[in-house]
Amino acid sequence: MIGQKGAQHLADALRNNTTLSALNLRYNGIQDRGAQHLADAIRSSMTLTALHLGGNSIGDIGAQHLAYALHNNTTLTALHLQYNPIPVKGAQHLADALRKNTALTTLDLGGHKIGGEGAQHLADALLNNTTLTTLHLHCNDITHEGAQHLADTLRRNAALTTLNLRSNSVGDKGVQHLADALRKNTTLTTLNLQDNIIGDNGAVYLADALRNNRKDDVTQKQRPIKRVQLDRDSSNVHLREEKFSLPITLVTVTALSNQELESTNPWKNWLFANNMSELYKRFELGTIRKKTGDIIEDTAQGIITEQLQIVNHRVVNAASGPFHLSFPPEIGNTLIYLYTKDSFWYKLINHVL
């Protein structure tokens, strides 16, 4: 870790640098003092466009310095501050910056526990902001109250395209507020509501809203919501069936080696007998000419691209036998679940759209 002193040296160098465009200092223990040095450098930098400061123990004071730097900065487009102990007051400072900043397009404030009050500050700032397109607020305990404030903003904001509210205890009540906003919003394309205690009622609210989130009755303008990510439960199935009128088939599969999958044995027959749609088989095994073993590898890639932290693992450890998993079995089940529901169906759906 470079710490506060290392951050100061880098900040001094940035003041005269004319080429560096992205700086990643995640998990370096720079704390508030280091954030202050970097904020001072941001004020004069004319080239830096992306700054990653996640996991650096930056608190209210550090957030305040960075917010002040954003007031007049015209080059930084992405600021990542996830998993820093930034409280509600820090969120308020950053919200004030969004009222004046005209360059920032991506702000990541995940993992701060800013609560409903912090969400309100950000929502109020976004009422007049016309440049921020991506906002990450996962793991912030905003609950249904924060969801309501953000929903009020979505009715009027015409810039935001991606909103990440994963793990915020939004619940059905919060989803209802968001769903009502989606009936009027014409710009949001991605809404992440995973792990939010959403039940069948919440899924129904969203399904009803998505029916209307297509064309404006007057202008016939396409309303572009393409993806809503919910909890990994049956409500997700109902939502996507409502939205796309396509059958969603869940698959449970035992991890086998490529050799086992390609051989003529009962497992191969079991894998494809009534559990996977004919469309899936034609698309993956016919059009693309994949082997069944390749599908398992694609499954691993599918979950990785969904930003779940499964790295440096393989779905099957062939050397240890066809039934040996190199990670807990529930991860294997999740791989299959996500790939068949998310990766495959979204590839197909987005291709059509």
The whole-number average pLDDT for the span 308-333 is 43
pLDDT for residue 283: 53
pLDDT for residue 331: 55
Judge whether 252 lies within some domain: no
Q: Are residues 37 and 142 in the same domain?
A: yes
- pLDDT score of 224 more than 90: no
pLDDT for residue 329: 52
Summarised one tens digit per residue, pLDDT across range 231-279 is 544 344 344 333 333 332 323 333 333 444 444 444 344 444 444 444 4
Q: Are residues 49 and 154 in the same domain?
A: yes
Cβ neighbours of residue 41 under 8 Å, at least 6 residues apart?
10, 11, 12, 14, 15, 48
Q: Are residues 139 and 184 in the same domain?
A: yes
Summarised one tens digit per residue, pLDDT across range 145-186 is 999 999 999 999 999 999 999 999 999 999 999 999 999 898
Instruction: Using alpha carbons, list the distances in angstroms from residue 341 to 53, 69, 273, 323, 334.
Output: 33, 43, 18, 24, 10
DSSP class of 164: E
User: Helices (DSSP H) in the chain: which residue ranges?
Assistant: 3-14, 31-44, 60-70, 88-100, 115-126, 143-154, 171-182, 200-212, 234-244, 258-262, 266-272, 278-281, 292-305, 329-338, 344-352
Q: Are residues 223 and 294 in the same domain?
A: no
Cβ neighbours of residue 129 under 8 Å, at least 6 residues apart?
98, 99, 101, 157, 159
Judge whether 344 lies within some domain: yes
- pLDDT score of 310 more than 80: no
**Who has greater pLDDT, 264 or 39?**
39
Give the count of domains, the chain: 2
Judge whether 249 lies within some domain: no
Q: Are residues 294 and 272 in the same domain?
A: yes
Judge whether 94 lies within some domain: yes
**Who has greater pLDDT, 4 or 262?**
4
Q: Are residues 108 and 25 in the same domain?
A: yes
- pLDDT score of 315 more than 60: no
Count of C-beta atoms within a 10 Å radius of residue 204: 18
Q: Are residues 82 and 168 in the same domain?
A: yes
Q: Which range scores top for mean pLDDT: 14-28, 204-218, 266-280, 335-349?
A: 14-28
Q: Are residues 193 and 83 in the same domain?
A: yes
Judge whether 42 lies within some domain: yes
Q: Are residues 304 and 331 in the same domain?
A: yes
The whole-number average pLDDT for the span 49-72 is 96
pLDDT for residue 230: 56
pLDDT-above-90 percentage for the chain: 52
**pTM for the full predicted model:** 0.64
Judge whether 297 lies within some domain: yes
pLDDT for residue 207: 86
Judge whether 48 lies within some domain: yes
Cα gap 193→195, rounded to integer Å: 7
Judge whether 209 lies within some domain: yes
pLDDT for residue 44: 87
Q: Which domain holds residue 236?
A: 3-244
pLDDT for residue 286: 55
pLDDT for residue 200: 86
Q: Are residues 194 and 264 in the same domain?
A: no
pLDDT for residue 332: 55
Mean pLDDT across the chain, nearest whole number? 75
Q: Are residues 210 and 295 in the same domain?
A: no
Report CA 350 to chain centroid distance, whole Å: 17
pLDDT for residue 227: 55
- DSSP assignment of 245-307 equals -------------HHHHHSSSHHHHHHHSSSS-HHHHIIIIIIS---HHHHHHHHHHHHHHTT
pLDDT for residue 146: 97
Summarised one tens digit per residue, pLDDT across range 90-145 is 999 999 999 999 999 999 999 988 999 999 999 999 999 999 999 999 999 999 99
pLDDT for residue 208: 86
Q: Are residues 127 and 176 in the same domain?
A: yes
pLDDT for residue 113: 86
Q: Apex CA 331: angle with CA 325 and CA 332, to 5°?
A: 55
Q: Which range scores top for mean pLDDT: 222-226, 260-264, 292-296?
A: 292-296
> Which CATH number fits the domain that encloses residue 89?
3.80.10.10
Give the residue from 217, 244, 271 where a domain finishes.
244
